Chain A
Amino acid sequence: MESVLGRYRNLIVLVGVLFAQVLGLAVQVKRTSDSEPTRLIRVWAVGTIAPLEKALAWVQTSSSDLWHNYFYLRGVRAENRSLKAQLERMSLDQARMSQDADQARRLQALLSFKEQFISQTMAAQVIGASGSELSRSVYIDKGEKDHIKPDMAVITADGIVGKVLRVYRSTSQVLLINDQTSGVGALLDKTRVQGILRGTSAGEAVLEKVMSDETVPAGELVLTSGGDGVFPKGLLVGRVTRVSAGNDLFLNIHVRPAADLSKLEEVLVVTKIDERQTEPDQAGAARAVDILAERLPTVPAKVDTPEKDGVAPKTALPNTERAQAGTGQPGSNVKPKATPTTAVSGAAIGSSATNSDAATTPKPVSPKPVVPKSVAPETTDPKTVSPSAPPAEAQDSPN
């Protein structure tokens, strides 16, 4: 017996070690849950490797900064000029988009939309990877002491990157969106079709659970849907590269992530997301009028001419009142809110379907003609706005 054990000692140890590891693996697979504490072996391994990675990343960043910021300044002047020109162009763009955003917010307020805002982010440096082709995750240099928590979204300026999986004392592990165990709620930009973005073992990202009768063109943008509870809605995920038939009735939509996941250096961890209902500034109904006034072409004001029979048309009085309220003439008791705008705002809502196209189509960079808000309603004839606009009599009806 002893000789048999001695003869097969190596094999017995091999079987014992393998059995122990398989058993350990089976226990882990069975117990896998989010609330499970991080295993000590992981803490030790990360605690050993991460300081080295941090040090090397710091040396690399410092030397790169030193070179680029102090020595290699060739072409900086030309680049500066180009950036200034770009800044001017973008300032104009920003002014236009700011107006659009304001209008969108007002409309959301009218519809009682709830918005999600990324209110706080933390910049972090990527210091290491998992070291395995089959585990697509990276380590960042921010951890528990920086108030990082699991399931926080990680993004870059280009697009989303992943979510925080495990948090250690001064580092965190981030699961990338192209890992096969990750899942991101996503939607297609134009068709608004929703699906789940998953990674594959080859490191690709595929949008699943989209019915095969949908038409998905290559090149379409993919955005976060907000359905996963990790990423706020509307963040850029990537672009559709190709579409193939998937399981059952679903499509496999291959997506190229907008963020370059193979060359991550710095990322932003979303540490706080606010969800609040958009609130109107003062008066929702009045805002709708403003929106309409800014969207519609202006009509030159009519020159006041005495009526032949001395009777003013029915709409003249309210218009005059509005003009007085808007210009703030002394002695005028009529406030802008008191004007019979309900009918006009109804017209605004009724016509919003046609006017919303104007909001999405690119506009010339030149600023739009500014229409004084208080004057705008009187220069706009509801009958010309939309077929659904109420008759002129309705404007005279009190609120």
Chain B
Amino acid sequence: MATTYTSGEQVEVYRFSLPATLLVPLAAIFLQAFLPLRFHFFSIFDLPLLVTIGFATARRSPMAGLLTGGLIGILQDALTHHPIGLYGISKTVVGFGASSLGIKLDVENAGARFLLTIFFYVVHEVVYFLIARGLVGLRMAWSWPHELVSGMANAVLGIFVFMLLDRLKQRT
């Protein structure tokens, strides 16, 4: 069993089955595209981001994290009308960061997950904002209150998403 150690505590590394690896991100993207039409408030959530963070922290492999994040992001980009790569780059950074942090910290409890999700949500938005504005030339406005409220909403939903992912993960 592959393990890493942080402050003397044993941190376990998990993996996901192939169906779960494929279907969970697809389901997240599907729900993200479908639910806001029926429940407008749902557009504040970013389910693919939560799945990216969930996979990255469970696998604790930066390489797997950045590739998973990149692929989920590109797939999400494909449904928008913006150039492909905006979400791809943002989620690549988040996937790498979350898995790297997952190696060093225990992210099994709800409190840590809550804070981790808020942090990576803001990172995701900052990276997206910079690329969208600097490289693509989209007119965007930054609003800290909006980002923080969205981050907290995503963190609350993230706790439940991570609990669901806990049921799917397998010990290596």
Contacts and interface: CB of A to CB of B under 8 A. Distances in A.
Interface of A: 9-10, 13-14, 17-18, 21-22, 24-26, 28-29, 32, 39, 41-42, 44-46, 48-49, 52-53, 56, 60, 126-135, 137-139, 165-166, 173, 175, 179-181, 200-202, 262-264
Given A44-B78, A52-B30, A18 B93 contact: yes
Interface string B111-141: 0000000000000000010011001111111
Contacts of A135: 80-82
Given A41-B84, A135-B81, A165-B81, A25 B140 contact: no
A28 B83 contact: yes
A32 B81 contact: no
Residue among B30, B33, B84, B137 with the highest chain A CB neighbour number at 10 A: B33
Contact of A128 (B33, B76, B83): B33
B75 interface: yes
B108 to A, nearest CB: 22
Nearest to B69: A17
Interface of B: 26, 29-30, 32-34, 36-38, 40, 43-44, 48, 62-63, 66-67, 70, 74-76, 78-89, 92-93, 96, 100, 128, 131-132, 135-141
A39 B84 contact: yes
Given A17-B66, A45-B79, A134 B92 contact: no
A264 B37 contact: yes
Contacts of A127: 34
Nearest to B36: A129
Contact of A49 (B29, B36, B43): B29
Q: Top 10 nearest A-B pairs by Cβ distance?
A: A45-B78, A135-B80, A131-B32, A25-B85, A28-B83, A131-B33, A10-B62, A128-B33, A130-B80, A262-B40
Contacts of A126: 37
Give the secondary structure class of B's interface.
Answer: helix
Given A29-B135, A49-B29, A202-B141, A263 B40 contact: yes
A221 B70 CA distance: 45
A45 B75 contact: yes
A323 B145 CA distance: 78
Contact of B85 (A24, A32, A46, A133): A24
A32 B93 CA distance: 25
Contacts of B32: 131
Contacts of A45: 29, 75, 78-79
B62 A14 contact: yes
6 contacts: A9-B63, A10-B63, A41-B74, A132-B82, A134-B128, A135-B81
B33 A129 contact: yes
A53 B66 contact: no
Contacts of B85: 21-22, 24-25, 28
Given A24-B85, A132-B76, A165-B81, A13 B30 contact: no
A25 B62 contact: no
A366 B70 CA distance: 68
B88 to A, nearest CB: 5
A131 B96 contact: no
A49 B47 CA distance: 15
Contact of A21 (B63, B89, B138): B89
A395 B169 CA distance: 96
B139 A18 contact: no
A21 B34 contact: no
B26 to A, nearest CB: 7
B70 to A, nearest CB: 6
